Structure 1
Amino acid sequence: MTSPHSPLSRRAFTAAALTGAGAAVALPATAHASPGGGRDAAQIDELLADMTLEQKIGQLFVAVGYGPTADAPHPSNTSSTGVDTIAEIVRTHHVGGLIYFVWSENLQDIEQIATLSNDAQDAALDSGGIPLIISADEERGVVYRLPAPATPLPGQMALGATGSRAHARKAGDIVGAEMRAAGLHQAFSPVVDVNIEAQNPVIGVRSLGADPSAVARLAAAQIKGLQGANCSAAAKHFPGHGDTATDSHLGLPVIDHTREELDTLDLPPFVAAIEEGVDAIMTAHIVVPVLDDSGVPATLSHPILTGLLREELGYEGVIVTDSLAMEGVRTLFGDDRVPVEAILAGADQMLMPPDLVVAIGGVRDAVANGEITEERLDESVRRILAQKLRRGLFDQVHVDPATAADAIGTPRSVRTAQKIADDAITLIADDADAIPLAKGTSVLITGAGTAEKIEVATQALEAHGLQAVPLAGATPEQASAAAADVDVALVFTSASGFTTPASQVAVVTALAETGTPVVHVSLRNPYDVVHIGEVAASLAAYGNSDCNLEAVAGALAGDVSLRGTLPVPIPTADGTGEAYPVGHGLR
């Protein structure tokens, strides 16, 4: 399945280049995140000498285990790993890591997560002495994993809208510290994809923006914050997933950039991550013909992972695949061959194979028949062990479940999140000089968003001296009727791609037809403004976390200074031009 390369991509690329991102990629002067030296190298040699072949193969896998406790049987464990519990997965398969999700029932509350992590580590230590690296897709913003009281950060594109390295570093520090407190050690973050395709269905607001130099600068700061908190970062998705209209969860995107475009657009953030000493780089399930014309995705491509990332860019840290359960990596090979092809390409860690028994069996067979040498196996195990040593996992892997939550969602972290969200809020249009609103103005709040989010916005507006009238889940007719009784209608939209859902547009249109001034806010991608018709004013919040909604209220009331600027260009609705450039933002 290929990705249509729309004209939006080229226009956005031009806009990014005009902001100073047109220089060719500079190779790193030195390789960072190397597989250990000195005492670490000696310890790794000692560990390797004591490991069985099964243990070495297991270290290459990061598994999903189902259940809230390590010893709770779960049918999904049985079907996907051949054993019943998380502890048995660790003991039987000697996996190098686990990844937690809400849907796998791992993330219920902080004390439970900490207890699960401790017990899983006990299983690892009892069955070979190699601690697990426990991970999560902890990007914050629209992709988050830890439950409350984890700090509700505003997300990547909000950071891009601030342009602040200090904000990016603090955000990374918060995520890293909170993960370590709960017994996790690896954030599959930050997203460093340069989002130049407005129709991108999978990256969008998860990206820092469309300017490669800005993305590189902010991503490096995030990595510094994450790893400064002793939590491994993983820059993703190599060599760049920002210019596709296909979701690699569902298909196999094709990126048809020239090598010059890769050097000026996609690769600079990864070079910056390498220079910052990032512990891991995650691969993308995308085809890049200019780098490898065989048709295999980057995850399985030797020219991309070894030729480009290892040899040309000089990266020596861990290469981790994106999920091996995604359709983009399963189109050409069976589940037993995918991890073999990834290892031969140069990957070290195999993330989330759909059937762990089949995946491990495939690698075992490849080692037995000489296709994967034990020397090649040892290269990856060395990198994984070096990462674990670097993060102190051989010194201390247990946390205190009773006090873990005390270090999470601290008042200071919440204040930092709010400051980032405040600085990100972007006034895109205000032809009617509608903002700020006078204190005491009555405001209808409706549109996209759950009743809970509408209630958060209601409380925030009232705290800023406005009279809020909430109407969650309103039809166009209900919204139109309610607008007759207020001074201003505030309407939220939220789109994951370029086109705003028609049902959301219908509510905005109905409100605009009443004659009541309409203030529009996009709660996800900022592109909605070109699809909704004429409104009095339009803001981009870049997320729907509580801090984003509080920032909207502060901006409407004039209590938050409007500093944010667009980190991505906004095309016209028909895709034939540019409505708003990178850097646009009214004050």
Structure 2
Amino acid sequence: MMKWKPAGLGAAAAGIACMVWAGTAAGATGDQFMDLKGAQWAADSITYMAKRGTVAGYGNGIFKPEGAVTRAQAVTFMVRELYPQQLADSDQTYTDVPRSHPFYKEISVAARMGLAGGFPDGSFHPDAPVSRAETAAFLTRAYALQSGERAVSLSDTATHWAAAPIGVMSSNGLIGGYADGAYRPDKSVTRAEFAVFMTRVIRFERANAIQAQDWDKLMSYMTVSEQVGQMLMPDIREWKGQPTRTLNEGIKATIHDQDLGGFILFEKNIANAEQVTTLTHGLQAEAGDIPLFLGIDQEGGVIKRIPGGTNLPGQMALGAARDTSLAEAAGKLTGEELKALGMQLDFAPVLDINSNPDNPIIGMRSFSSDPDLVTRLGLAEIKGLQSSGVIPAVKHFPGHGDTTVDSHLGLPVLTHDRARLDAVELKPFRAAIEAGVDMIMSAHIAFPAVDNEHVTSRKDGSSVPVPATLSKKVLTGLLRDELDFKGVIISDAFTMNGIAEHFGEEQAVVRAVSAGIDIILMPKDSAIAHQALVEAVHNGTLSTEAIHASVKRILQLKAKYGLFGERDERLSSKLAALPAIIGATPHRKVEQEIAEHAVTLLTGRDGKYPDRIGQGDRVVIAAADDEIGKQLAKQLREAGASQQLSIEIVIIGPGKTAEALRKLKDANYVVLASYQFRNVASQFGWSDYQTVIDEVNKLGKRYSLVSLGNPYELLYLRDVKSGMALYGKQEPNIKAGMNVLLGQAELPGVLPVQN
């Protein structure tokens, strides 16, 4: 392709290739200008350039859109956009541009970089108006533009001195002529017109960079605000106290004001498949030319967000099934459903080794207490998610499985030595990195064996260890350098007390990025976090090189998973496709197969089976929660429809167990449902369960202890004659268990944790 090369272009082109911050000028943003009523055709461009810090007004909300652009103003706009970092070094002098001139530095930089030169008599003519021809020459030279594919048919430019740059601009659709076919190259350009021309060129260059996946070039056109905005991923669970399920003006403004790179969605954001698909489509439409990461915690089992979607039995159920093909299928169907709903990022699978029964937050979210089993199943689920076009973000590095403190509530400390970390906690993460995982979530947990730094807590002035999310030794030293992870590092939620209690919002955000975090998940206040990062870049606390490296990883990952192209699909097409994907029959089949393969014998009188329910039995279901009792009763009635069962639910717990015991006397069979999760197992209320077990043993009843949560009951309950683990209180788990109690199915599962 032909490339126009006027004098000075070499220096300008070299400058373009450098990584620069676009825009540092202070001034009103576009929506603050009050005199654009007669220039609405240019309002978008003026707003865009003002937000970039490239154009500014005259104060008091005045922009003067119809005022002529002078040579001094034109080069100032371009220097602010392209070379703001060079303004401190200004040495070019012209006879009519003294050092006291308000644009002396910008004119000097423009001359040095080849954007604009002076006249033979040594003058610059700073107050002379800029013509349409000069505008084309300035912009073509500044951005090293090449000829495009469009035919040039302007009637009055062929013999003009600026014919070449006008032709380049016209052939790329960046300028046009008047109705009579003329360009009028010598006509003066207004401030509004110049803003439009610059906006067109910048957006054109950004589009070309995206198409070529030239992320260095794209970043050279991104402001500080845009770059750090890519590194923020807040939640929008509520807006003014109400669940956020539609795109409102406040969220639109937040996206634009903070240049956000993504959002995490929660169950509050989702009423049904059609609604959330409409929401995600609208969010992407507001995102400009860089698409949003839209992520969710869809682990399956106890952590699920999609009502009406496939309700997978959970990771520990997969651990009991020990089948990598089922784990891969679970990942694939999860990804297919998320993709259909407009999400491309799943914060799963959990690669934590649940080696501590007292872990209050991981438990059955983990596959197992066996590092090898976690590794095998984790890699399979990662493969399934990736095959569906969804990014798995594995968590919680370097490992959250052996803690007794929930990092949502406090700051856990893992005191194992490095040899133990290598053998257990780090094993699945190392394997995932070797297998090409693209995103890893950090844990708000301190690991003294890797980083023993302590800081003063803002909560109470005590000395607290630095958690992994804020530790350069963990994130850069261990994860990046030692384990050679090249992908994106995302933090766990910044609303969690492991961070929020001890570190101020601004301090924590800046420290996390300095440590190696690429994306801050769920900052408490995204506006404060955004401003803190912008200021840290400007004052040198955060290096531009580190920010560029993070943003480049983010852009590369968005491109790898097709985010730049997927926004072309119409909403109507997305909605039409949902019924065949969300909760589809093939997905439900996988769901039930996992649940059936997971059912595990905890103990049985014959060592093979729990006690069975017989024809015509009077069954009493004892549970601490009425909803669990109802779900068990529903599934038992459906599975035992032909067995003429009588079913009653009783509630056990403080003040209720005595009444429940009276009703057990007339039962033929007792289902004792246990659900222990999100609390410390050793501190759980086991005494009521033991009372029931002692009573049914004394009465000689057939019964089964049915574990629906973490399967650690036999560590705390004695003399249990019959019991099984289902690993979840979801419908497929309970259905599979009731089939076993009715003698309609086997128990193929193997306990995935030490008990």
Q: Tell me which interval the TM-score lies in, with the shorter structure as reference length.
A: 0.7 to 0.9
Structure 1 position 461, deviation (Å): 3.8
Partner deviation per Cα, 1:142-166 (whole Å, 9 max, x = no partner)? 1111111x11111011111111101
| Partner SS for 2:601 | strand
Does 1:470 pair with 2:648? yes
Distance change >3 Å, CA 228–CA 510, structure 1 → 2: same
**How far apart, CA to CA, are the structure 2 residues paired with 1:512 and 1:556?**
18
Q: 1:180 aligns with which of 316, 328, 339?
A: 339
Matches within 5 A, 1:100-119: 100-102=265-267, 105-119=268-282
**How far apart, CA to CA, are the structure 1 residues paired with 2:715 and 2:545?**
56
Does 1:415 pair with 2:589? yes
Does 1:59 pair with 2:234? no
Structure 1 position 278, deviation (Å): 1.4
Does 1:447 pair with 2:610? no
**How far apart, CA to CA, are the structure 1 residues paired with 2:490 and 2:374?**
21
Preserved CA contact (<8 Å) 1:303 1:345: yes
- What corresponds to 2:405 in structure 1? 246
Q: 1:427 aligns with which of 586, 597, 601?
A: 601
Preserved CA contact (<8 Å) 2:226 2:259: yes
Distance change >3 Å, CA 252–CA 494, structure 1 → 2: same
Distance change >3 Å, CA 297–CA 40, structure 1 → 2: farther
Preserved CA contact (<8 Å) 2:612 2:702: no
Q: 1:372 aligns with which of 542, 567, 574?
A: 542
Aligned length: 518
- What corresponds to 1:484 in structure 2? 665
Structure 1 position 442, deviation (Å): 3.8
Q: For residue 339 of structure 1, what is the amino acid of its counterpart?
A: V
Structure possessing the higher radius of gyration over alpha carbons = 2
Matches within 5 A, 1:384-403: 384-397=554-567, 398=569, 400-403=574-577
Structure 1 position 45, deviation (Å): 2.8
**How far apart, CA to CA, are the structure 1 residues paired with 2:516 and 2:383?**
25
- What corresponds to 1:47 in structure 2? 218
- What corresponds to 1:13 in structure 2? none
Preserved CA contact (<8 Å) 2:369 2:752: yes
Q: 1:236 aligns with which of 391, 395, 414?
A: 395
Preserved CA contact (<8 Å) 2:319 2:374: yes
**How far apart, CA to CA, are the structure 1 residues paired with 2:474 and 2:493?**
18
- What corresponds to 2:681 in structure 1? 498
- What corresponds to 1:70 in structure 2? none
Structure 1 position 222, deviation (Å): 0.4
Matches within 5 A, 1:114-513: 114-125=277-288, 129-148=289-308, 150-294=309-453, 295-397=465-567, 398=569, 400-431=574-605, 434-449=610-625, 450=627, 451-463=629-641, 465=643, 467-473=645-651, 475-496=656-677, 497-499=680-682, 500-502=684-686, 503-513=688-698
Preserved CA contact (<8 Å) 1:134 1:184: yes
Q: For residue 511 of structure 2, what is the amino acid of its counterpart?
A: E
- What corresponds to 1:89 in structure 2? 254
User: What percentage of aligned pairs have identical amino acids?
Assistant: 37
RMSD value, Cα = 2.3
| Partner SS for 1:526 | coil
Preserved CA contact (<8 Å) 2:650 2:660: no
Q: For residue 624 of structure 2, what is the amino acid of its counterpart?
A: A
Distance change >3 Å, CA 464–CA 77, structure 1 → 2: closer
| Partner SS for 1:490 | strand
Does 1:532 pair with 2:717? yes
Distance change >3 Å, CA 452–CA 383, structure 1 → 2: farther
Gaps of 5+ in 2: 1-208, 454-464
Q: For residue 218 of structure 1, what is the amino acid of its counterpart?
A: L
Q: For residue 575 of structure 2, what is the amino acid of its counterpart?
A: P
Preserved CA contact (<8 Å) 1:176 1:226: yes
Structure 1 position 65, deviation (Å): 1.5
Distance change >3 Å, CA 147–CA 519, structure 1 → 2: same
Q: For residue 101 of structure 1, what is the amino acid of its counterpart?
A: F
Structure 1 position 138, deviation (Å): 0.8
- What corresponds to 2:240 in structure 1? 74
Partner deviation per Cα, 1:118-157 (whole Å, 9 max, x = no partner)? 11111112xxx11111011111101111111x11111011
Structure 1 position 311, deviation (Å): 0.7
**How far apart, CA to CA, are the structure 2 residues paired with 1:424 and 1:460?**
20
**How far apart, CA to CA, are the structure 1 residues paired with 2:296 and 2:343?**
8
**How far apart, CA to CA, are the structure 1 residues paired with 2:443 and 2:650?**
38
- What corresponds to 1:3 in structure 2? none
Preserved CA contact (<8 Å) 2:320 2:750: yes
**How far apart, CA to CA, are the structure 1 residues paired with 2:642 and 2:253?**
53
Partner deviation per Cα, 1:438-480 (whole Å, 9 max, x = no partner)? 4554432221341542343333442584725031535323432
**How far apart, CA to CA, are the structure 1 residues paired with 2:406 and 2:438?**
26
Structure 1 position 361, deviation (Å): 1.5
Q: For residue 116 of structure 1, what is the amino acid of its counterpart?
A: L
**How far apart, CA to CA, are the structure 2 residues paired with 1:291 and 1:424?**
37
| Partner SS for 1:135 | strand
Structure 1 position 302, deviation (Å): 0.6
Structure 1 position 548, deviation (Å): 0.5
The more displaced of 483-492 and 311-320 is: 483-492
Structure 1 position 357, deviation (Å): 1.4
Matches within 5 A, 1:532-571: 532-570=717-755
**How far apart, CA to CA, are the structure 1 residues paired with 2:638 and 2:714?**
23
Preserved CA contact (<8 Å) 2:475 2:517: yes
The more displaced of 114-123 and 89-98 is: 89-98
**How far apart, CA to CA, are the structure 1 residues paired with 2:521 and 2:424?**
27
Structure 1 position 563, deviation (Å): 1.2
Preserved CA contact (<8 Å) 1:366 1:372: yes
Task: State the structure with bigger RCO (CA 8 A, min sep 6), 1 or 2.
Answer: 1
Preserved CA contact (<8 Å) 1:136 1:186: yes
Give the TM-score, by structure 2 length.
Answer: 0.66
Structure 1 position 501, deviation (Å): 2.0
Structure 1 position 483, deviation (Å): 2.5
**How far apart, CA to CA, are the structure 2 residues paired with 1:396 and 1:108?**
23
| Partner SS for 1:394 | helix
Distance change >3 Å, CA 556–CA 289, structure 1 → 2: same
Distance change >3 Å, CA 310–CA 466, structure 1 → 2: farther
**How far apart, CA to CA, are the structure 2 residues paired with 1:511 and 1:107?**
44
Q: For residue 529 of structure 1, what is the amino acid of its counterpart?
A: L
Preserved CA contact (<8 Å) 2:605 2:611: no
Structure 1 position 512, deviation (Å): 4.1
**How far apart, CA to CA, are the structure 1 residues paired with 2:593 and 2:554?**
36
Partner deviation per Cα, 1:359-415 (whole Å, 9 max, x = no partner)? 112111110111111221111111111111111111113552354243111111111
**How far apart, CA to CA, are the structure 2 residues paired with 1:331 and 1:296?**
12
**How far apart, CA to CA, are the structure 2 residues paired with 1:447 and 1:512?**
17
Q: For residue 64 of structure 1, what is the amino acid of its counterpart?
A: D
Distance change >3 Å, CA 40–CA 484, structure 1 → 2: farther
Preserved CA contact (<8 Å) 2:447 2:467: yes
**How far apart, CA to CA, are the structure 1 residues paired with 2:435 and 2:637?**
41
